[in-house]
Amino acid sequence: MIITDQAYLRADGRKGIRNHIVVAYLVECAHHVAREIVYPYRERGVHLIGFGGCYPNDYAARMMRTLCTHPNVGGVILLSLGCESFNRNSLREAIAASGRPVETLVIQQNGGTRKTIEQGRKLMDDMLAKVAQVPRAPLHINEFIVGTVCGGSDATSGITANPGIGRAFDKLVEQKAGCIFEETGELIGCEDIMTARAATPALGGILRDSVTKAAKYYTVLGHGSFAPGNAEGGLTTMEEKSMGAYAKSGASRISGLLKPGDIPPCGGLYLLDVVPDGEVRFGFPNINDNAEIAELIACGSHVILFSTGRGSVVGSAISPVIKVCANPETYRRMSEDMDVDAGKILEGRASLDEVGREILDLSLAVARGEQTKSEELGHQEFVLTYKSFEPIGPSCLPSA
């Protein structure tokens, strides 16, 4: 199945559904200058991302590398203060090797704020012209990758939006698309039913270990993935929230486990492990929903399906976010921010299968160029913090 014949063909053969230019700051000290370069172009597909830390981190470097070479990205401008530890030359080389135009601005060498902003905008005009020449090509369904996350969950999330996304995932996996679910900290209690779906017994053990790791991590922190708003929305236990979050994965066989920056080698359903390996060093694994969205995008997701019951307004840089609203009252109150009203299941206005089909159809329409609500509103949230991961082993991808 061909989703669209107008995808953006990259030099490595991957195809994007958007043709964004990314302006990436490499330390918080360069954030303001980067934002000022982006501002006049914010409605022309120019997106701001960055890493705020001054000290090096392999995870952050890998995330920036995979994000800057994402299929939805056509070109990159890097913003360095000049004295941070981030290896700007290595990142530039990786982007250049991907065939994308890339420029680096060093504020200390350029003469400060005003001169760097002026130079950055000149470079932007030139880069916009370059990315407009990117060739187009057909995007097949087996080249399409979709990620999912939930935020602002309530008692309706696990019975409308999440299983609706699960039904859409099942249809996508059936057609050999790549589908990624995550939140191992919200799968606690689901280990047995999840491992039973693993492609191999070895993978089943790895899936179980990832949830066990998350449980231990949260125990050390003394704070699990259960917010006051979840309780106010009617959720009563972590296990109840887990069952709802788990429903987003659908019922397909689980083909593998990924860590942030790993790209699915083929179509299928994958669990993304977002909880750091080793001792607890960097605090809460994901400080907000956008940190998780960034990790899904770093794994190649063209589109993100975001389930919410209480409501959320976030979008994302690089990949479009489709918000699936679980609660019909929330949808009526926040309809300008919501893409799909899954709450109509509760009111008898649609079946679960019908909502799943609506989510699937909208995902394909967005891949063809239709804008999501968050895109129309200009949302480009992005968060990247410190973490540490060990590489995955061959048992993590038995279907590769």
Q: Give dist(CA 400, CA 111) in Å, integer.
A: 49
- Give the span between the Cα atoms of 255 and 270, in whole angstroms: 6
Yes or no: say if 30 and 54 are a contact pair by the CB < 8 Å rule. no
Cβ–Cβ < 8 Å for 60, 4: no
What is the distance between the alpha carbons of residues 224 and 263, in angstroms, rounded to a whole number?
A: 28
* Structural tokens at position 59: 């995870």
Q: Does residue 284 contact residue 144 with C-beta atoms inside 8 Å?
A: no
Cβ–Cβ under 8 Å, residues 40 and 58: no
- Amino acid (one-letter) located at 268: G
The pLDDT tens digits for 318-334 are: 999 999 999 999 999 99
Determine the Cα–Cα distance for residues 59 and 193; give it in Å rounded to an integer: 30
Strands 321-325, 303-308: pairing kind: parallel
Residue 357 burial (C-beta neighbours within 10 Å; 0-12, 13-18, 19+): middle
Select from 260, 148, 257 the least CA-distant residue to 200: 257
For the chain, report the end-to-end CA distance as a whole number of angstroms. 22
State pTM to two decimals: 0.95
Which residues sit opposite 20 in a β-bridge?
73
Q: Dihedral of CA 177/396/240/213: which sign?
A: negative
Q: What is the pLDDT of residue 227?
A: 54
**206's tokens:** 């790895």
Residue 43 sits at φ, ψ, to 5 deg, of -100, 15
Q: Under a CB-based contact definition with an 8 Å cutoff, are residues 372 and 323 in contact?
A: yes
Three-state DSSP at 372 gives coil
Alpha carbon 150 to its chain centroid, in Å, reads: 11
* Tokens describing residue 366: 């967005």
Residue-level pLDDT at 283: 85
According to DSSP, the β-strands at 136-140 and 145-150 are: unpaired
Domains of the chain: 20-133 (3.40.50.920), 140-396 (no CATH)
CB count in 10 Å sphere of residue 89: 11
Residues ≥6 apart with Cβ < 8 Å to 244: 150, 153, 157, 158, 159, 162, 235
Three-state DSSP state, 99? coil
**What does the pLDDT read at residue 221?**
86
Measured between alpha carbons, how far is 389 from 67 in angstroms, rounded to an integer?
Answer: 17
- Token representation of residue 219: 């125990």
Residue 249's CB: how many other CB atoms inside 10 A? Answer: 27
For residues 64 and 297, is the Cβ–Cβ distance under 8 A? no
Please check whether residue 324 is in contact with residue 306, taking contact to mean a CB–CB distance below 8 angstroms: yes
- pLDDT of res. 245: 76
Three-class secondary structure of residue 374 per DSSP: helix
**List of the chain residues with pLDDT < 70:** 224-244
Residue 224's pLDDT is 60
- The 3-class secondary structure across 164-189, one letter per residue, is HHHHHHHHHHHCCCEEEECCHHHCCC
